[in-house]
Amino acid sequence: MQASSLPPPPQVAGISLTGRAPYVISRQENLELCESMGIVPSGDDRAHPIYFFIATQIGMGMTVAELCAVCEFNVDDGPMIVSSKVEFSQSLLVEQAYRVTGEIVNLTRKLSRKIGVIDMLEYRLNLSRPDGTPVLVTTSVWVLPRGNST
């Protein structure tokens, strides 16, 4: 099979990933997350920066399983994250409400020599305060391995 002969992937670019409810980083969970790595949380209200990923992933309008389903992919087939980019405008704070907006950027079908047909899913999420003040923007790319099932 050649890449040019593959059927097109589902047309999902532009689908909204805007969250339905605000996301709050709990002080207690931030403490537990830091302790799980043997570090001490910030002495002020700053949350661990990895919450850029956690807050956007949980606060977006779909679970990962639902996002996969939109792409006509079963989450049990093992989506794999391949890259993350983030640009912070502000530090993340505990006990601060944030809202998530975003969308699927694209879904591109390719042929991998190792694992067969794959779709590359790219989506962008923005985290902001309830008044609209931007906090960060992040872009993630996942591989959805299709094998020979397309």
Applying CB under 8 A, the residues found at the interface with another protein are 29, 32-33, 36-39, 48-50, 52-54, 57-58, 63-64, 75, 78, 80-88, 91
Q: Tell me how far, at minimum, the Cβ of 132 lies from another protein, in Å.
A: 21
Q: Closest CB to another protein among 34 and 70? A: 34
The token pair that represents 115 in the structure block: 């694992």
Q: Among 14, 17, 128, which Cα is nearest to 64's?
A: 17
The string of DSSP letters for the chain reads --GGGSPPPP--TT-B---SS-EE--HHHHHHHHHHTT-PPPSSSBPPTTHHHHHHHHHSSS-HHHHHHHTT--GGG--EEEEEEEEESS--BTT-EEEEEEEEEEEEEEEETTTEEEEEEEEEEEEE-TT--EEEEEEEEEEEEEET--
Q: Closest CB to another protein among 33 and 144? A: 33
Q: Tell me how far, at minimum, the Cβ of 84 lies from another protein, in Å.
A: 5
Q: Tell me how far, at minimum, the Cβ of 54 lies from another protein, in Å.
A: 6
Q: Closest CB to another protein among 80 and 97? A: 80
29 alpha carbon, distance to own chain's centre: 20
Q: Closest CB to another protein among 83 and 112? A: 83
Q: Tell me how far, at minimum, the Cβ of 5 lies from another protein, in Å.
A: 27
Q: Closest CB to another protein among 52 and 99? A: 52
Q: Tell me how far, at minimum, the Cβ of 43 lies from another protein, in Å.
A: 11
**The total number of residues written for the chain in this structure:** 150
